[in-house]
Each structure stands twice: as structure tokens, then as C-alpha cells.
Amino acid sequence: MVPIALAILGLSSLVCGTLAFRAIRRFATDRADGAVTRSRRFALKVGAVLGLATWPLTYWMSYPYADDTGRVGRVAGVPFFVAYFDADGFDYVGPLTLPAVVLNAVFWFLVPQIVMYVAFARRLRHRAT
């Protein structure tokens, strides 16, 4: 159940992150505000570092998960399921492993964009009142 919940969170975050990325880009070009441009560059750099770091760190981004018999293995990949390592140490990967790794990198790239969008939306709402 946890991998499914994380996948739903990941897919919804990809959509929200893409919308946030586009809104921030539009906001930065419309306003030509130096603080917004610096914040956008910072968020892009942090997102790039997070996204690139998830590629080699996929194995360590894992959590315990019990199989049908109750033996605890590990699921690698957050939020998208990349591989399963059973209690005996065998790994199970498939044709969706590489796309899941790429989606995890994109997810972690977009996380700072979502945070930045929320911060800007709050600041704009505060200025409007």
C-alpha cells in the first residue's frame, strides 16, 4: 500500500511541480524583479542537485516492506518504486526501473519549485491585503 500511495503523491507532485515551474518562470519574466530571479535560480540549482543526487542514491532512498509471507525486504526509490530487495538480498528490477529512476529525479528537481511557488503565492496574498 505504501508504494501505491507514494506513486500517487509522486504523480500529483509532478503535475503540481510542472505548473509551479511554469508559473514561476512567467512571474519572473513579467515582473523583472531581481529577488524573484535570484530565488528562481536558487530553486533551479537546488532542484538540479537534488535531482542528480537521487540517481546514484536510489538504493539508499529505500524503506522496509514486507512481502506476502511476512518477510521484510526493502523497496528502493522514493516516491516511485524502482526495485525490490527481498529478505535474502536478491533484487527484482524490470523494464520500468530506468523510467522510475528518471521520474524520481524529475520529482526531486520539481520539489523546490513547489516550495518556491507556495512561498511566492503567500507573499503575494500578504501584499494584496
Q: Strand 62-66's sheet: what is its strand order?
A: 62-66, 72-76, 83-85, 91-92
The pLDDT score that the predictor gives to residue 2 is 85
The pLDDT score that the predictor gives to residue 102 is 95
pLDDT in tens, 83-94: 999 999 899 999
The pLDDT score that the predictor gives to residue 33 is 67
**Which residues have C-beta within 8 Å of that of residue 6, sequence separation ≥ 6?**
78, 79, 80, 81
Q: Are the C-beta atoms of 20 and 117 separated by less than 8 Å?
A: yes
Given a cut of 50, the residues of the chain with pLDDT beneath it are none
